[in-house]
Chain A
Amino acid sequence: MKFRVFAAFAGPSLLLMLIFIAIPLVNVFLQSFHNTQSIFETVEIETCTPGFGTQTCITESETRPVLGEDGKALEKTIFVGWESYRNILRPDQAWEAIKQLNWSGLMAIDFWKALRFTLTFTLISLPLVIGLGLVIAVAVNSLAKSIRGQVIFVSLLPFIITPVIGALSIRWLFIGDGILTAMLEWWLQMDIAMFAQAWTIELMMLFYRVWHVAPFAFVVFYAGLQTVNNDTLESAIIDGASRFERLRYVVIPHLMPLIIFVSLIHLMDSYRVFEEIVGFSSQAHVISLQWLTYDFLVPDESGNRSISRASASSMLTMIGIVIILIPLLRKTWKDHRARVL
């Protein structure tokens, strides 16, 4: 294939990714150092009231936005350096809290609170998803062939459901005295309010996320199980390996590439945790990094969006993505080098 033909085939797609992904990224980077504000001017206004004999005059200085020809407030964009980053990270306050080992002081700052939740959520859900997916795959693989299709059908439902709706459906089971809350109360003999504190909400979010992603892990592992070499399994049996040992030393090493693949996809996706916050309306207790950016982008009461701060928090969020991707990129690069050389 000549290069020109290749360019013709791949061109439209690359152009689109350039315009709608690469350029916005540069734009976000620039925006995070700039801030757009209305221009204000200070004017002296003299108000006079007729008095007895002489007028009483008061001179007040008033700050008001400068209006352009079309009656809208004029705006200007200025370079602010690291100000937006400082606004989000609050380095002084955070450092103060760290020095005094004041955990709740650190958690009072939105960014650190969001970072804490995003990281714990990602790291706790990862082993749960992999483990559950693996167990379901092994269990389904030992079932009769005729019912596997139905099990896969049911398992796909939580995976394809709209994330916000999925989170909502879990929430509706618990809200107020919903059936599951009532059941827990009856079981534990105590009064439970699932939405009153952060940790119960986080538990529900974890439950939702594992419910939502485990089917993906299950289907991938199940497909992998179909390609396990039967001869290896049989020789393991002859060597006297127990069922568990066969799983541990034959099946899991065979699935290892898939486990790494699912882990990476899951790390990327759960680092972007966002829909749970919307579905559980948990912004008062629990927020995530992506929700933080979203919140800056939603217009406030006066209709302003804090674009500059949103950009800064986007840039900070991306640092995490880069860290997650480095091992993957290094491995791909090594493979590529090995293939080329």
Chain B
Amino acid sequence: MSVPKALQMPIGLKVTTVGFVTCWCVIAAFPIFWIAVMSFKEPLDSFASNPLSVIFGPSTRESGKGLSVFDIIIGLSIIYFIYRFAIYHLPKWVRKYSPFNLIVIGWLLGAIFVALVVVLVFGVLFPPILAFVNGLTGFLGTPIIGFTTEHYLAVWAENEFYRNFINSIIVTLGVVTISLSIGTLAGYGLARSGFDIAFWILIGALIFRALPHSVLVSGYLPVFVNSAEYLRPILGEQAPTFYGQPLAVIMVLVAINQPFTIWMLRSFFQNIPKELDESARVDGCTHFQAFRWIIMPIMWPGVITTGLFSFLLAYNDFLVTSLLLDAQNQTMVPAIAGYFNRETTTTDQVEAVAAAVSITAPLFLLVMVFQRQIVSGLTAGAVKG
């Protein structure tokens, strides 16, 4: 469709617009891109004041850790092939080999498979082969960009960051599953009932959403720390101390997330025509059966979107997890703050950068896969008011 002449932009305005959007994109991506670059360099290069030496890393190169032209070409082409595979072939395989009702598990296995291939190729297979080939190729084989993965190794292996990673997975998975299963029920109930009380519940939820989380935590902390004493008369010697328990934190995060979840799911449910469950009721379904067999199958997009936002809340949380979990059960985000409060040497700082990039990488993948759902979630509450 051609744009009407009157709506076409003059060339000057067009250039300004494109320039402005480019500028915004650079500003949006730059800090994230930059910490990724920093994390692969020796401390001296990472915190250099000249951007060129951060990118090329002269002192990292001098200590013999670098990438040659040859490495870069091979690496990029392999990344390209894996990307093509993940985009074009993997979906077909998943659909072909996983039974219909287990397709989620099929996707998970597929993702794990790709991750394993990446780790194997770049971690195990590559270094020895390339070291050998680089020796043969002369100029193409001499390192030109400083590059080292030692900080990642230090963070994940020596400092046992994988423990925090596992804790993060436990907490986020728990929060997402529980808050979705409770939230869909409540969202459906609120969307379909014409009661006055539903309105008041939603208003209450709005007020709860505005509360600072520290307010709630100061309500939990004394109770959680002393819970064993309070519960002893009822439960006897097995009375648990809630402080430091991942399960307690999961419940807290689910509750904090609940107001937002029910608002969002309710607005998705309202988009589904009422006639659908009414006809199911006429055919003899109970309310719950109509919900389970008629409404849920077409609600998946809304549930996935809401799940993404629950995931973000649980994964990104610092305040609740840092106050309610002890050191052994600490998740990734509070763990990194501990890192950098230490700040004894510059190596520690670069390790903190590497940890930060490790935390950001899954989020990056998440936006790549679920961009459309995130956008629809952001606008769902807003456009309908």
A interface residue numbers (CB < 8 A to B): 1, 3, 5-6, 8-10, 12-14, 16-17, 19-21, 23-25, 27-28, 31, 36, 135-136, 139-140, 142-143, 149, 151-158, 160-166, 168-170, 172-173, 175-179, 181-182, 211, 215-216, 219-220, 223-224, 227, 233-234, 237, 243, 257-258, 261-262, 268, 271-272, 274-275, 278, 281, 289-290, 293-294, 296-298, 305, 307, 310-311, 314, 317-318, 321, 324-325, 328-329, 332, 336, 340
> Is A14 within 8 A of B186, CB to CB?
yes
**Other A-B pairs, 7, CB within 8 Å; known A5-B287, A169-B356:** A12-B185, A156-B375, A169-B31, A178-B47, A219-B379, A258-B382, A294-B323
Are A25 and B378 touching (Cβ within 8 A)?
no
Bitwise interface map of B from 184 to 223 toward A, beta carbon under 8 Å scored 1, else 0: 0110111011111011010111111111111111111111
CB <8 Å contact, A13 and B188: no
A164 touches B28 (CB 8 A): no
26 contacts between A and B (CB under 8 A): A9-B185, A9-B291, A13-B182, A16-B254, A25-B215, A28-B216, A153-B367, A157-B29, A162-B333, A164-B316, A169-B34, A172-B38, A173-B34, A211-B28, A219-B378, A227-B383, A234-B4, A234-B6, A272-B212, A281-B341, A297-B221, A307-B222, A310-B214, A314-B214, A332-B206, A336-B199
Q: Bound state CA distance, A149 and B371, in angstroms?
A: 9
Q: Which residues of B contact A275 (CB under 8 A)?
A: 318-319
4 shortest A-B CB distances, which residue pairs? Answer: A24-B219, A9-B189, A20-B255, A13-B186
B367 close to A151 (CB less than 8 A): no
Q: Determine how close the nearest CB of chain A comes to the CB of B304; give it in whole angstroms.
A: 15
Chain B at the A interface: SS class: helix
> Is B315 an interface position by the 8 A CB rule?
yes
The answer on a CB contact under 8 Å between B323 and A298 is yes
Taking a contact as CB atoms under 8 Å apart, the answer to whether A28 and B218 are in contact is yes
For residue B312, CB closer than 8 A to chain A, the reply is: yes
The residue on A at minimum CB distance from B215 is A314
Asked if B360 is at the interface of the complex by the 8 Å CB criterion, the answer is yes
| CB < 8 Å neighbour of B211 from A31, A179, A298, A321 | A321
Which residue of A has the minimal Cβ distance to B340?
Answer: A168
Q: Contact at B382–A262, with CB atoms within 8 Å?
A: yes
Report the minimal beta-carbon distance from A14 to chain B, rounded to whole angstroms. 7
- B382 x A223 contact (CB < 8 A): yes
With a CB–CB cut-off of 8 A, which chain A residues contact B366?
160
Chain A residues within 8 Å of B258, by CB: 13, 16-17, 21
Contacts of B14 in A (CB 8 A): 142
User: In the complex, what residues of A have CB within 8 A of residue B252's CB?
Assistant: 20
Q: Please give me the residue from chain A that is nearest to B189 by CB atom.
A: A9
Q: Is B124 an interface residue (CB 8 A)?
A: no
Q: B-side interface residues toward A, CB under 8 Å?
A: 4, 6-7, 9, 13-14, 17-18, 20-21, 24-25, 27-29, 31-32, 34-35, 38, 47-51, 54, 182-183, 185-186, 188-190, 192-196, 198-199, 201, 203-223, 251-252, 254-256, 258-259, 262, 287-288, 291, 312, 315-316, 318-319, 323, 333, 336-337, 340-341, 352-353, 356, 359-360, 363-364, 366-368, 371, 374-375, 378-379, 381-383, 385
What chain B residues lie within 8 Å of A136 (beta carbons)? 20-21, 24
Residues of chain B lying within 8 A (CB to CB) of residue A233: 7
Residues of A with C-beta under 8 A to B341: 281
Distance in Å: Cβ of A277 to nearest Cβ of chain B: 11
Q: Is the CB of B251 within 8 A of A20?
A: yes
A170 CB to nearest B CB, Å? 6
CB atoms of B207 and A161 under 8 A apart = no
Of residues B204, B208, B291, B375, which shows the largest number of chain A Cβ atoms within 10 Å of its Cβ?
A: B375
Contact in complex: A278, B31 (CB < 8 Å): no
Report if A165-B28 is in contact (Cβ < 8 Å); known contacts: A13-B182, A278-B318. no
- Closest residue to B352 on the A side, CB-wise? A168
Contacts of B190 in A (CB 8 A): 10
Task: Find the residue from A19, A20, A36 having the highest chain B CB count within 10 A.
Answer: A20
Option from A20, A175, A220, A321 in Cβ contact (under 8 Å) with B47 = A175
Partner of B17 from the list A9, A139, A293 (CB cut-off 8 Å) is A139
Are the CB atoms of A17 and B255 closer together than 8 Å? yes
Given contacts A153-B371, A307-B222, A318-B211, whether A168 and B185 have CB atoms under 8 Å apart is no
Alpha-carbon gap, A156 to B18, bound state (A): 18
Q: Which residues of A contact B375 (CB under 8 A)?
A: 152, 156, 219, 223
Q: Which residue of B lies closest to A218 (CB)?
A: B24
Contact of A165 with B218 in the complex, beta carbons under 8 Å: no
Cβ of A179 and Cβ of B367 under 8 Å apart?
no
Q: What's the nearest-Cβ distance from chain B to residue A51, in Å?
A: 49
Q: Is the CB of A165 within 8 A of B359?
A: yes
Tell me which of B255, B291, B374 contacts A156 (CB under 8 A): B374
Contact of A10 among B185, B364, B368 (CB under 8 A): B185
Please give me the residue from chain B that is nearest to A150 by CB atom. B25
CA distance A261 to B267 in the complex (A): 15
Contacts of A176 in B (CB 8 A): 47
CA distance A165 to B367 in the complex (A): 17
Contacts A16-B251, A19-B255, A178-B49 hold; do A294 and B214 have CB atoms under 8 A apart?
A: yes
Taking each of A153, A317, A332, A336, which has the highest tally of chain B beta carbons within 10 Å of its own beta carbon?
A153
Residues of chain B with a CB closer than 8 A to A274's CB: 212, 214, 318-319
Q: Closest B-chain residue to A309, C-beta based?
A: B218
Q: Which of B17, B199, B312 contacts A160 (CB 8 A)?
A: B312
Does A177 lie within 8 Å of B49, measured CB to CB?
yes
CA distance A261 to B353 in the complex (A): 35
Most buried by B among A31, A278, A329: A278
Are B382 and A329 in contact, with the CB atoms below 8 A? no
Q: Which residues of B contact A317 (CB under 8 A)?
A: 212, 214-215
A143 touches B17 (CB 8 A): yes
* Shortest Cβ distance from residue A298 to the other chain B in the assembled complex, whole angstroms: 7
* C-alpha spacing A21/B198, complex, angstroms: 18
Residues of the B chain whose Cβ atoms lie less than 8 Å from the Cβ of A294: 214, 319, 323
In the complex, what residues of B have CB within 8 A of residue A13's CB?
182-183, 185-186, 258, 262
CB contact between B51 and one of A31, A179, A290, A314 (< 8 Å): that residue: A179
Bound-state Cα–Cα, A298 to B255, Å: 22
A108 to B219, CA, bound (A): 28
Among A28, A182, A258, point to the contact of B50 (Cβ < 8 A): A182
Once A143-B21, A156-B367, A297-B214 are accepted as A-B contacts, the answer to whether A24 and B220 lie under 8 Å apart by CB is yes
Minimum CB distance partner of A310 in chain B: B218
Q: How far apart are A230's CB and chain B's nearest CB, in angstroms?
A: 9
Contacts of A153 in B (CB 8 A): 367-368, 371
Verify B31–A170 contact, CB threshold 8 A.
yes
